[in-house]
Amino acid sequence: MEEDTGALPGKENFSEWYNEILWRAEIMDVRYPVKGLYVWHPHGFGIRKRAYAILRDLMDRDHTETMFPLLIPKTEFMKEAEHIKGFEDEVYWVTHGGRNELDVPLALRPTSETAIYPMYALWIRSHTDLPLKLYQIVNTFRYETKHTRPLIRLREITSFKEAHTVHATREEAAAQVEIALDLYLEFYENLRVPVIVSRRPAWDKFPGADYTIAVDTIMPDGKTLQIGTVHMLGDHFSRTYEITYEDANGERQYACQTCYGISERSIAAVISIHGDDKGLVLPPGVAPVEVVIVPIIVGKRRDEVLAAATALEEELRCAGFITRLDSRDMRPGAKYYHWEMRGVPLRIEVGPRDIDANTVVAVTRTGRKTTLDRRGVVEGITSILGEFGDEIWKTARDAMADKIVMADTLDATAAAVKSGVAVVHWCGSQECAEKIEAAVDASVIGSEIRSDLIAVSDGPCIACGEKGTSALVARTY
Ligand code: P5A
């Protein structure tokens, strides 16, 4: 691929910055000729691969991975009324096999409840079969009519992690909602992406759910991005699909269910939250290259420098770092630019002077420079990468805190949502939410807020003055 050496647009022009970084840092190619479908570049996929390895590990603690078919018969898809209403405008239908029209049209899954639950009805017989906790990581298709955007609003979601659990009681299902939220918080802490958890208003819950708890982050332009949702399904689907079990007394009961999902929006969040004007900034845990070694080759000591760099690469690989030696015949400055754009957390420079002094120079992606003793290089890098992860976590949390504004009036809310998220008092009624939304040109996205960056309280609703409690108002992706 040809090397581009132009500067990125400043991150204050976030939308432009985002579009440019996707190709300059080789994350996605947006030229695929179907709207809403994009192609992963290997570097972007490397980030996805590591992030999803973390997600898989978290899920595997307490769930089992599986894989269901992509195609769902219309007869199954159309069974749950609310679910149909929520998704019918977003479904792609397969109607033909070759030149033959199919007897039963097949939906490309927009999500897999209606593929999985008929099978759960066959599998679950007794209370001893419960709880059942399965997940899959698959592609799903949604004919989105809002503006599509790479990694953020896709028509083919390539990395849809969906979990579907079944429980004997509502209490157990409610407890599972909390377990899922904890898993998602841990996942995002690994990605160094700060989040806010809140309960979606009833009209904004998942189609077919009792209630939805969402995980949002705040993007650099102040809009929120929903990067995960956990749904309490109650017995809506179990009644539709006859998911029943025999309890200890021999009586048939409807099961209670939850489901929860994360998509490649998680990768969009990593890119957007940490990146800067020089390119990506990747947390060490998800960087496809953690350490890049750049030999500083001058004159006659070329072979000696390359041998020292190769030995260092070998040592770092053995120590478990994902390491790349960049021995291309290019100026060091061009290499620095290349790897900074791609977000590599740490660059190690090895030149003749370092060989003489038995040192190497380590420079983090955020520009912190340290001279390390060559003998203690593994320990040195381990601690620098640890500190680097903490540094970007703090930067991200501070940036999020700066974008959260307490607002007491509609005017203050309207001002706050121009560049961030407003925390207001709201009585919980749809009528007041509509008033607020019309007045401030943003949405009431959630209440029952959980975030250590937000102090929640009771107070008069900013629309009607009646008793209210803290709620989030934001422009959303
Ligand atoms: C939970 C998993 C569901 O589909 N069924 C199985 C439930 N929930 S959801 O809220 O509709 O989607 C889960 C998360 O997926 C992301 N997401 C998307 N990402 C990219 N492009 C899209 N078109 C898209 N739609 C949803 C969101 O992060 C959402 O929270």
The verdict on the CB of residue 259 being under 6 Å from ligand 1 is: yes
pLDDT at 147: 95
CATH superfamily of the domain spanning 291-387: Anticodon-binding domain (3.40.50.800)
Nearest CA-CA partner of 352 in 301, 303, 307: 301
Instruction: Please state the rounded mean pLDDT for residues 101-129.
Output: 98
With the most atoms of ligand 1 within 8 angstroms of its CB, the residue from 37, 144, 263, 270 to mutate is: 263
pLDDT at 298: 79
The verdict on the CB of residue 24 being under 6 Å from ligand 1 is: no
Q: To the nearest whole number, what is the mean pLDDT of the chain? A: 97
pLDDT grade, residue 299 (50/70/90)?
Answer: confident
The verdict on the CB of residue 349 being under 6 Å from ligand 1 is: no
User: From the CA of 237, how far away is ligand 1's center (Å)?
Assistant: 18
Give the residue, by CA position, lying nearest to ligand 1 atom 24: 153
Nearest CA-CA partner of 346 in 330, 369, 327: 369
The verdict on the CB of residue 263 being under 6 Å from ligand 1 is: yes
The three-class DSSP label of residue 39 is: strand
Instruction: Please state the rounded mean pLDDT for residues 77-84.
Output: 90
The verdict on the CB of residue 208 being under 6 Å from ligand 1 is: no
State the CB neighbour count (10 A cutoff) for residue 105. 17
The verdict on the CB of residue 188 being under 6 Å from ligand 1 is: no
Hey, CA dihedral for 223, 228, 234, 237, is it positive or negative? positive
With the most atoms of ligand 1 within 8 angstroms of its CB, the residue from 229, 257, 262, 264 to mutate is: 229
> What does the alpha-carbon distance between residue 451 and residue 458 come to, in Å, rounded to a whole number?
16
Hey, CA dihedral for 181, 185, 186, 191, is it positive or negative? positive
Tens digit of each residue's pLDDT (9 = 90 or more) over 154-200: 999 999 999 999 999 999 999 999 999 999 999 999 999 999 999 99
The verdict on the CB of residue 162 being under 6 Å from ligand 1 is: yes
Question: Counting atoms of ligand 1 from 1, which one is nearest the CA of 225?
Answer: 28
User: From the CA of 97, how far away is ligand 1's center (Å)?
Assistant: 29
Q: Does the fold of domain 404-474 match that of domain 14-274?
A: no
The verdict on the CB of residue 261 being under 6 Å from ligand 1 is: yes
Nearest CA-CA partner of 65 in 160, 141, 150, 136: 136
The verdict on the CB of residue 229 being under 6 Å from ligand 1 is: yes
Question: Counting atoms of ligand 1 from 1, which one is nearest the CA of 162?
Answer: 2
* Domain residue ranges in the chain: 14-274, 291-387, 404-474
Give the residue, by CA position, lying nearest to ligand 1 atom 17: 263
pLDDT grade, residue 392 (50/70/90)?
Answer: very high
CATH superfamily of the domain spanning 404-474: C-terminal domain of ProRS (3.30.110.30)
Using alpha carbons only, give the angle 439, 443, 445 rounded to the nearest 5 degrees: 145
User: From the CA of 71, how far away is ligand 1's center (Å)?
Assistant: 18
User: From the CA of 292, how far away is ligand 1's center (Å)?
Assistant: 35
Find how far residue 369's CA is from the centre of its chain.
Answer: 31
In this prediction the pTM is 0.97
Give the residue, by CA position, lying nearest to ligand 1 atom 3: 261
> What does the alpha-carbon distance between residue 116 and residue 165 come to, in Å, rounded to a whole number?
11
Instruction: Please state the rounded mean pLDDT for residues 223-242.
Output: 98
Give phi and psi for 126, each to the nearest 5.
-130, 160
Give the residue, by CA position, lying nearest to ligand 1 atom 20: 153
Alpha helices in 62-151 (DSSP H): 74-77, 81-87, 113-123
User: Residue 343 — left, alpha, or beta (φ > 0 → left; ψ -120 to 50 → alpha)?
Assistant: left
Regarding beta strands 359-364 and 369-373, do their DSSP bridges make them parallel or antiparallel, or are they unpaired? antiparallel
Residue 126 DSSP symbol: B
> What does the alpha-carbon distance between residue 356 and residue 376 come to, in Å, rounded to a whole number?
16
CATH superfamily of the domain spanning 14-274: Bira Bifunctional Protein; Domain 2 (3.30.930.10)
pLDDT at 3: 56
pLDDT at 380: 98
User: From the CA of 193, how far away is ligand 1's center (Å)?
Assistant: 18
Q: Spell out where 14-155 has E strands.
A: 28-29, 39-40, 64-65, 71-73, 93-97, 100-108, 132-141
Tens digit of each residue's pLDDT (9 = 90 or more) over 259-292: 999 999 999 999 999 999 999 999 999 999 999 9
Burial of 319 (0-12, 13-18, 19+ CB in 10 A): middle
pLDDT at 300: 87
Give the residue, by CA position, lying nearest to ligand 1 atom 6: 162
